[in-house]
Amino acid sequence: MNNNMKLAMILLAAASIGLAGCTKESSATSTSGSSQQDSTILTNTIVNSETSDIKNVSNTLKGDISQIDVKNIHSLKIQGTAAIVTVIGDKQINQAQWEFSKGNTKGMDANVTTSIQDGTLQIMLKQEQKKIINTEPLPSLTIHLPYKDFKYLEIDNEFGNIFVESELSVQHLNVSSIAGNITVTDVIGMESSNISTNVGNVEFALPDQSAPLYVNLSTKLGNIDNQVPLEKATNTTTVVSKELHGYVGEAQSESPTLNISTQAGEILFKN
C-alpha cells in the first residue's frame, strides 16, 4: 500500500468518526440508552491471575457490566480498532469494572475479550466494519480502575476518541491512535508518558501535585497551546510544524518524560 492510499484511508476514517458524532457526550447518551434496553448484568471475577497461561475472562455484550480482580495485575493493555475508549481511576472501588455499549450502530459488529498473561490484563475490543463509511455512533468502552500502583497502562485505539481521567498511579503511560482525539486529565506516568495520534487533537491536563517533568510537544500540522510555565523552554517552528521542549518544575537530567505528538492536530497542555 503506497503513502497516498494510506493517507486516503486515514482521512476516510477520520471523516467516518466525525460523521459518527465521536464525542464523549454522544458516548454517554448511547450508553444510557443501551442500559435502558438491556438491564442484564454479567459479572466475572478472576481469583488467581499469577499464572503465565492466557485466560479468557469474558465476552461482554450490549451494555453489560463486567468486573475483574486486579490484585495480582501489574499492567494493563487496552486495544481497540474503532470505538470511544474511556479509562477512569476510582478510589471507591477495589476491582476493575468495565461497560461496553455497541450504541445504535448497524455499520459494524463489535465484541470485547479479555485475557491475563504474566500479570498483564489485556482487554481487546474488536470490530468488523460492514460499511465503507459509518455514520452511526461508534461503540464505547468505559473502564473503571481501582487505585493501585500499575507498572504499565497502554491504550491503543486505532479510530475514535480516547479519554483517561483521574486518580491513577502508573509508572509508564502509553496512549496512541491513528485517527481520534486524546484527552488525559490528572494522570501522568511517574517515569514516562507517551501520547500520540496521527490525525486528531491532544489535550493534557497535569495533576495538581506533579513531580519535575521534561516535556516534549510536537505537531506536524497544527498549533501548540502551552499554559504551563516551563524552565529552559525552547520553541522550534518551520512552515507548518511546531515543537516545544522544556521542564515543568526544576530542570533535572533524570526527570520523568512526557512526549505528546500529533501529525495533524492541535495540542493543549495545561495545569
Distance CA 143, CA 187 (A): 15
**Which residues touch 248 (CB under 8 Å, ≥6 apart)?**
206, 210, 212, 213, 214, 215, 228, 229, 230, 231
pLDDT number for residue 17 = 43
Host H or E run for residue 4: helix 3-19
- Provide the pLDDT for residue 130: 57
The conformation of residue 30, written as its DSSP 8-state character, comes to: H
Amino acid 126: pLDDT: 78
- The structure's pTM equals 0.77
CA nearest 17: which of 164, 202, 143, 181?
A: 181
* pLDDT score at 142: 95
Domain definitions of the chain by residue range:
3-169
Report pLDDT digits (tens) over 145-178.
999 999 999 999 999 999 999 888 999 999 999 9
Provide the grid cell at 24.
464523549
DSSP secondary-structure letter at 211?
A: P
Residue 48 CB-density burial (10 A; 0-12 exposed, 13-18 middle, 19+ buried): exposed
Q: Which residues of the chain have pLDDT under 50?
A: 1-9, 12-62
Query: If we measure between CA atoms, which residue out of 176, 149, 156, 270 comes closest to residue 215?
Result: 270
